[in-house]
Structure 1
Amino acid sequence: MGLTFAEICIDARDPASLGLWWAQVLGWPHHTDSDGDVGLTPPAGSGPPWQFLTVADDKVVKNRLHLDFVPDDQQAEVDRLVSLGARHVDIGQGDESWVVLADPEGNEFCVLAAE
């Protein structure tokens, strides 16, 4: 018996806004289903699809799981993400080579140092 990684599901108060924000960040096409959930379709070989699902509650605590991204230019990418609405967050990371940001609903993610 085996498992196949099918998709990443992200709870959102406003899946339309958050899904569109991530579609813009990643440059991926998006669609909205009949329930109002938003799906992002990655290019081939770029990982699983993402689904933004409606929930009634706000995010309150630090994520138990987060996403890491490797940019071509870390500072340029951080600047771009902040200009789109991301914000810097301190989760106790200290002085590290990565930058912790949060999306518009407060979900933390890291922008790693360029390789």
Structure 2
Amino acid sequence: MEILMSIIIGILFTSATYLMLSKSILRIIIGTGLLSHGIHLLLLTMGGLKKGASPLLGQHASSYSDPLPQALILTAIVISFGVTSFFLVLAYRTYQELGTDNLEKLRGKKEHE
């Protein structure tokens, strides 16, 4: 299972890097979202993909799962959702004011340069 998760994480990192190197603000925002999802999966995989009971008082089981990586990832998901929504609003407002989402045009460079 860890090998499959590693392949999925690699695909997410590769596609996020490709999208973040483009000139469109929307592609960059989607790339950062994919990168954050890849990091969440990486943290979950490094925390261990073990099967076990939840660590509750009074429950007797042979093995328990660690809830700390899951709690940290849940917090990171909420934070990345807030940052992504802020970036989307900022990009929409930039497009309304300037009429483009091309980073080269936003920097003031001409197309033939």
TM score, norm. by length of structure 2: 0.24
Which is greater in Rg?
A: 2
Q: Which structure's residues are more often helix, by fraction?
A: 2
